[in-house]
Structure 1
C-alpha cells in the first residue's frame, strides 16, 4: 500500500513539472525611467514629392519651451502653401501663412448635353389581394 501511494505521489509531481508554465516575469527595463526635470529637445523633418502630384513636408525643432517649425503642401490649384510657426513659452501657436505661385484652374469645357432616352413601360395592373374574414 505504501508503495502504491508513493508511486501515485511521484506521478502527480512529475505531471506538475511537465506541464507548461504560462506565467510572466517582471517587466524588462529597456531604459531608465524618464526624469520630469529634463528639458524636452528634439528635431525632425520629412518631405514627400512624387509623380502623382504629392508635394508636402514638415520640419520642427524644440528646445525646452521654444518650438520652431514649418510645413508646406501643394494645393489642388497649383500653389504651394507654406506655414512657418513658433511657440515660445506662453506665447501660444503663432503662424505665418504664405503662398507661392499663381492659382490655376483648368479651362471650363461644358460636358456634352445629356439626353436620356425615354423608357416607357405599361402601367402595373392592380389586382386586389383576397380578403378573408
Structure 2
C-alpha cells in the first residue's frame, strides 16, 4: 500500500510540474541559437532645403556590432552616438556634440518653405466629361 501511495504521489507531482503556465506555454522552452551573420550598411540624408541632416553606419562580424549615427539638433548642434554592442558587455554608447547651442533671441512667425517649381505644372487629370441630364419620368396616373 505504501509503495502505491508513493508512486501515486510521484505521478501527481510530475503532472503538476508539467502544467502550462498562465499564457498557455510550457514552463521551459528550448532555446535555439543561430550563428551571427556579418553585415555592413550605411546611409545619410542631407537636405539643406528642409533642414534635415542625419545618417548612420553599422557593421558586424557576427558577434560584435559597431557603428555610429548622427543627427542635426534643433539648437544647431550635431549629435553623434558611437556604439559597440555584444552579448557579453551589452550596449555601450558614447555621445558627442559638435558645435554650440544657439537659441533665437527674437521669436517671430514660424518659418515655412514654399514648394519649388520645376517648370510648367502638369495636370494629372483630363477634361471633365459632359454629362447629359437624365430624362425625368412622371408616374402614370392610377385608375382605381
Match status 1:61 vs 2:59 = yes
Aligned counterparts, 1:26-37, within 5 A: none
Question: How many positions carry a matched residue from both structures?
Answer: 76
Q: 1:86 to 1:110 in 2, by over 3 A?
A: closer
Cα displacement (A) at 1:70: 0.2
Aligned counterparts, 1:1-133, within 5 A: 38-51=35-48, 52-109=50-107
Q: What is the aligned-residue RMSD (CA, Å)?
A: 1.9
- TM-score by structure 2 length? 0.48
- TM-score by structure 1 length? 0.52
Q: 1:49 to 1:109 in 2, by over 3 A?
A: closer
Question: Residues 10-39 of structure 1: CA distance to partner in whole angstroms, max 9, x if unpaired?
Answer: xxxxxxxxxxxxxxxxxxxxxxxxxx7543
Runs of 4+ in 1 over 3 A off after TM superposition: 36-39
CA distance in 1, matches of 2:108, 2:37: 57
Point out where structure 1 has 5 or more consecutive residues left out of the alignment: 1-35, 112-133
Q: 1:110 to 1:54 in 2, by over 3 A?
A: closer
CA distance in 2, matches of 1:82, 1:109: 28
CA distance in 1, matches of 2:42, 2:55: 7
Which structure has the larger Rg over C-alpha atoms?
1
Cα displacement (A) at 1:89: 3.0
